[in-house]
Amino acid sequence: MSQPSPEVYEEGKGMDAHNKVMREVRSRNDASYDPREPTRVWLDEDNTPDWFVTSLTIILNTGGCRWARAGGCTMCGYVAESVDGGSVAHEDLMAQIDACLDHEAENADDPAQQIKIYTSGSFLDEREVPAETRQAIAETFGDRDRIVVESLPDFVDREKIREFTEQGLQTDVAIGLETATDRVRRDCVNKYFDFADFEAACAEASAVDGGAIKAYLLMKPPFLSEGEAVEDMKRSVRRCLDVEGCHTVSMNPCNVQNYTMVEDLYHDGGYRPPWLWSVAEVLEDTADVDGIVVSDPVGHGSDRGPHNCGDCDDRVQRAIKDFDERQDPSVFDQVSCECERTWEAVVERERSYSLPLAR
């Protein structure tokens, strides 16, 4: 069998079988995107070590995650929204930033205290975001309080982080760790790095005054039962926040995105997104940790997003949002539904070789 180019397929990382499937799935997408328009931009609020702050969240449209172009993670469809050709010019990326600032000016009375920049890949990977652009963005947002940028651990470098802290910005690098369990990360998510690489990135970021790490974890990757996913998240939250330099865990319940292995499994009856009760269980169980734990279930209440029975989804979602702000597990005492008994039975009885037990 012919071997892919190391430059394109990052030879030696990940599982060849998973990557082959993912490349075939992604090849079905034929959409194209404007390099001068951001993928998304919105205003919201976030819990940070500085308390609850307003945030401007930006998803830059880049050439896409280099690992996703190799095949990539089983659940991630963001590369399907990337610009063709693998790179975007500095001028075009800055035009996207200008568009995001225009959006903020039109929709907010005051500038957001925090800026969050995602690329659906690695903001610190200079193949995606050139050094010139990174430095210009640091200067553009130097009047804000805090910035969050997304990256794989490979590209976390103290000198890059210092470009932001020297502007007076508290700087967090958001790492899509997904789980603290190496086996689950490799076999279920198809990510190539180990927890030790995450620890090294935490050390690199925290070596800079004002630098730190946010861990992004994936609730219920494919091939885990509901109960396995819950227990893995509980362990992962605690293990992440035991690492010096990591102050926040954001638990992201898996949703079914287009052009992914998870989508194929979902259509074949082999995957159900997590129950919202599972999200609540993890948050409640880990409320005693020394750090911030938050969750923002995307697509809650839909078949392709985290959901319960349909009747209680909005109530549980509101309790999760309330927990994000207050970090008080008693908020979950205020919600109940008969379907919680079904969830308990699923957690107890579902096995990974015969899932899902309930839709």
CATH number at residue 184: 3.20.20.70
Question: Does 195 fall in a domain?
Answer: yes
Question: Does 307 fall in a domain?
Answer: yes
Question: Does 359 fall in a domain?
Answer: no
Q: Which helix (H) or strand (E) holds 105?
A: helix 90-107
Distances from the Cα of 75 to the Cαs of 36, 85, 310, in angstroms?
Answer: 27, 23, 23
Question: Does 194 fall in a domain?
Answer: yes
Question: Does 1 fall in a domain?
Answer: no
pLDDT value of residue 3: 42
Q: Do the bridges between strand 246-253 and strand 292-295 make them parallel or antiparallel, or are there none, so unpaired?
A: parallel
Q: Are 108 and 54 in contact (CB under 8 A)?
A: yes
pLDDT value of residue 32: 67
Please report the sign of the dihedral spanned by the C-alpha atoms of residue 49, residue 213, residue 300, residue 112: positive
Question: Does 266 fall in a domain?
Answer: yes
| Domain hosting residue 337, numbered range | 6-354
- What is the C-alpha separation between 299 and 308, in angstroms, rounded? 12
Structural domain total, the chain: 1
pLDDT value of residue 6: 40
Q: What residues in the chain have per-residue pLDDT under 50?
A: 1-9, 14
Question: Does 131 fall in a domain?
Answer: yes
Q: Are 227 and 348 in contact (CB under 8 A)?
A: yes
pLDDT value of residue 9: 45
Question: Does 235 fall in a domain?
Answer: yes
